[in-house]
């Protein structure tokens, strides 16, 4: 009996040690950032369009973080409504209000449209988070400034994964999708903002992934819909009247436009759950309605960086910047080769 007790004790002690160490590790990984003063840190968040589906969810998640950390942080949101001039004016006003950090989603891809604004921010010595990645010329201008970080996602990865979802669908259901039996995937592409790196890379790599899978493709038409559902819906309604069932797939740069495309197709009797009457639609972002459509068989798939995850990273790195700490302290993230960019990874979402 004594020997049994000794054996049990010898087993339980290491097990308890592992549990304690693991629990401690988890607490360290997921603990919120420590603030460096008693009053809340004031963060100005300059959104390109607060009405856009993904941006509205990101805003909600930042607001939730504020509610959970009332003594630590105060977010103030500015909606540029996709107008760089409005955003510049908002930043100018905010420069007078003693904010500790600016999170900026630039709208124009051109440096000349934001150069003076960024110069004033840097002269005030205010830390900056750029989200998502701006154009190279904007980055090159900001790069000498030490108090900035870029937080985004791998646009190339998102396009590649989106293309792979469509490639898998083609390979599994080619006899249904290839309506004219020419062994070529005829597609329409719904693009985001003109001039945006996000638009360019998601478009390029989604099609490249199809071609690298050995699938011949033909672009029937494309429309720039500025990420918006209503524009995508009206575009697909118009394109369907012109091309009908010659459209074999729809590639969308984001989920809002993908949802709009599905709603348009449903009006013509397509994409209601019957596989033989479904035109594959793929998107990016993992929006709730897109996930719902995927589960119902109306939409083929999407790829996701959850707004909650992005909000947490913006908050944690933001507090570190304000407190003059290593921006990546208390996170599991790493900078890429640039030394100032953090990219969140996408995950695939299909039925």
What CA–CA distance (Å, rounded) separates 2 from 75?
62
CATH, domain 41-154+307-350, list 3.30.70.270, 3.40.190.10, 3.40.50.2300, 3.30.1050.10? 3.40.50.2300
pLDDT of residue 38: 83
Find tokens 């693991």 and name the residue.
22
Copy the structure tokens of residue 79: 């909606």
pLDDT of residue 175: 95
Reported pTM: 0.82
Domain(s) of CATH 3.40.50.2300: residues in the chain: 41-154+307-350, 156-304
pLDDT in tens, 51-99: 888 999 999 999 999 999 989 999 999 999 999 999 999 999 999 999 9
Considering only CA atoms, which of 237, 210, 236 is closest in space to residue 222? 236
Contact yes or no for 196/204 (Cβ under 8 A): no
Indicate whether 203 pLDDT > 80: yes
pLDDT of residue 222: 97
pLDDT in tens, 280-294: 999 999 999 999 999
What CA–CA distance (Å, rounded) separates 117 from 233?
35
Backbone dihedral angles phi then psi of residue 148, each to the nearest 5 degrees: -145, 150
The CATH architecture to which 156-304 belongs is: 3-Layer(aba) Sandwich (3.40)
């Amino acid at each position: 009996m004594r020997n049994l007790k000794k054996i049990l004790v010898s087993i339980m002690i290491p097990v308890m040690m592992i549990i304690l160490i693991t629990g401690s590790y988890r607490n360290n990984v997921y603990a919120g950032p420590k603030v460096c003063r008693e009053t809340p840190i004031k963060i100005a968040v300059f959104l390109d369009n607060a009405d856009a589906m993904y941006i509205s969810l990101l805003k909600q998640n930042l607001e939730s973080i504020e509610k959970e950390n009332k003594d630590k942080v105060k977010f103030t949101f500015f909606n540029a409504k996709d107008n760089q001039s409005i955003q510049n004016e908002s930043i100018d006003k905010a420069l007078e209000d003693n904010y500790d950090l600016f999170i900026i989603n630039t709208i124009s891809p051109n440096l000349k449209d934001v150069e003076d604004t960024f110069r004033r921010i840097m002269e005030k010595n205010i830390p900056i988070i750029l989200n998502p990645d701006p154009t190279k010329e904007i980055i090159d201008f900001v790069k000498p400034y030490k108090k900035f970080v870029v937080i985004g996602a791998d646009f190339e990865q998102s396009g590649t994964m989106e293309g792979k979802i469509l490639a898998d669908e083609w390979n599994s259901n080619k006899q249904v999708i290839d309506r004219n039996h020419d062994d070529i995937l005829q597609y329409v592409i719904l693009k985001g903002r003109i001039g945006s790196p996000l638009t360019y890379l998601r478009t390029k790599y989604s099609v490249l992934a199809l071609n690298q899978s050995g699938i011949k493709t033909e672009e029937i038409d494309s429309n720039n819909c500025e990420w918006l559902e209503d524009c995508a819906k009206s575009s697909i309604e118009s394109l369907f009247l012109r091309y009908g069932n010659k459209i074999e797939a729809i590639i969308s740069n984001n989920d809002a436009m993908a949802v709009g495309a599905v709603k348009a197709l449903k009006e013509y009797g397509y994409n209601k759950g019957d596989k033989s009457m479904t035109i594959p639609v793929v998107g990016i972002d993992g929006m709730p309605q897109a996930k719902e459509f995927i589960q119902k068989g109306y939409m083929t798939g999407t790829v996701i960086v959850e707004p909650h995850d992005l909000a947490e990273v913006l908050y944690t790195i933001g507090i570190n910047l304000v407190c003059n700490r290593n921006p990546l302290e208390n996170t599991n993230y790493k900078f890429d080769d640039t030394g100032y960019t953090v990219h969140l990874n996408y995950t695939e979402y299909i039925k």
